[in-house]
Structure 1
Amino acid sequence: MEELIGTQKPTHRILDPEEAVTVLERIVPGLVPLRRQKPAVFDWRAVEEEAGRALPSDFKALAEWYPAFGLDDFLGVMLPWPGEESVRAEAEGRRSETWDSDYPADLRPVELISTTLIPWGDSMEGDQFFWSVLGDDPEHWPVTICSRNGPWWHYEGGMVQFLAELCAGDLEPWALPPVRPEITGWVVEGGGWRQAA
């Protein structure tokens, strides 16, 4: 059985999705050139019906403004492409796990055995990034990190705020390497992966 090593909390929890995206853009300026001229239109109702639950608004705001992208040749952020709404996301040019993950219970800490985990990112090294579905309000689901080294931990802020604070060095990366605020690739129309120059 794996170990849940703790929970980190942001100093100030950002609940406004546009504010969270703006903070991420400030921390990761290389993201801004990828910003769409206008937000993409998604059929979020269909996505959420298929997923069987609402999804966090910061995730939806990020997907509306940006394609899936990679940070520091390490962390891939899975975002759907407009017009291809489904409960699967493309990242790094390959199909990811389904959002409603049946991550094996025997590989989870005992505290998370009965928790639904929805993946939203992964690393080149095998680390996985989830929401833990705790309660009916997706705005308060914690981010849960599964390190390839075994330790699991929570972050009690939104996914976009987590990315900003991880890249800014504002949180302890417990069992992860430091992640520089550098865009190293992104998904382009048609699903291909474009490496940053």
Structure 2
Amino acid sequence: MLSLQRFEAAVPAVVPYRAAAPRAVRWEVLHADLGVELPPDFRALAEAYPSLLVQDFLELETPEPGLESSFVADVRDLTVIVKDLSEAGLAKGYVPYPEPGGLLGWARSNCGDGFYWRTWSESPADWSVVVSGENDDWSEYAMGAVDFLAGIYRKDFKVGGMPENFPSDNPDVVALLTGTCQAYMRRR
């Protein structure tokens, strides 16, 4: 829960979108469809928030209760990108999930950047974050997704290949309805 509080402190504009009660995500459905449990910090985020668009840049998709298969489809779309890059020799040695240590997507930007977990440990709580920038910038961070988000929005570190104005001092946030992330990307 501390990760979630750090993220909310770094991006106060998310707080109005926080659910009054935990969202009833069917984690067993996601586990069955993906073949792996998702990290506990991300689960806490998804139980507290719908999908979000932060700073008109970062699409943070969370599973919608009852529509978990839509989230699985988005995760698989991101994984296909890693597969294609890996097969083309452009993934800097990273491989797609379900290969051992493979990358499993959790967010994207409207500029073509991908945000992944590197599934190197049996415990999802140990997974690191990998960012694939649009310009072949790859970076890895030994932290969970929510701590990563808090860190970039607190400006604790810079992520290579990100736009000059990222992150802004007061990022705005918009809640996205299920499927809105994909529709938004098609418009760009």
Q: Which residue of 2 aligns with 1:183?
A: 172
Runs (4+) of structure 1 moved beyond 4 Å? 190-193
Q: Distance in 1 between matches of 2:37 and 2:75?
A: 18
Q: Which residue of 1 aligns with 2:76?
A: 98
Q: Which residue of 1 aligns with 2:150?
A: 164
Of 110, 113, 116, the residue aligned with 1:124 is: 110
Tell me the TM-score normalized by structure 2.
Answer: 0.82
Deviation at 1:97, TM superposition (A): 4.6
Aligned residues: 170
Q: Which residue of 1 aligns with 2:68?
A: 85
Choose 172-181 or 49-58, whichever is displaced more.
172-181
Listed one character per residue, the Cα deviations across residues 29-72 of structure 1 (whole Å, up to 9, x for unaligned) are 11010011101112212211211111101111101010010111
Gap change, CA 1:100 and 1:185, over 3 Å in 2: closer
Letter in 2 for 1:30: A
Q: Distance in 2 between matches of 1:99 and 1:42?
A: 20
Q: Which residue of 2 aligns with 1:47?
A: 30
More strand, by proportion:
1
- Report % sequence identity: 29
Q: Which residue of 2 aligns with 1:133?
A: 119
Q: Is the 8 A contact 1:99 1:120 kept in 2?
A: no
More helix, by proportion:
2
Tell me the TM-score normalized by structure 1.
Answer: 0.79
Secondary structure of the residue aligned to 2:158 is coil
Structure 1: 5+ residue stretches without partners: 1-17
Q: Which residue of 2 aligns with 1:7?
A: none
In the alignment, is residue 62 of structure 1 matched against residue 50 of structure 2?
no
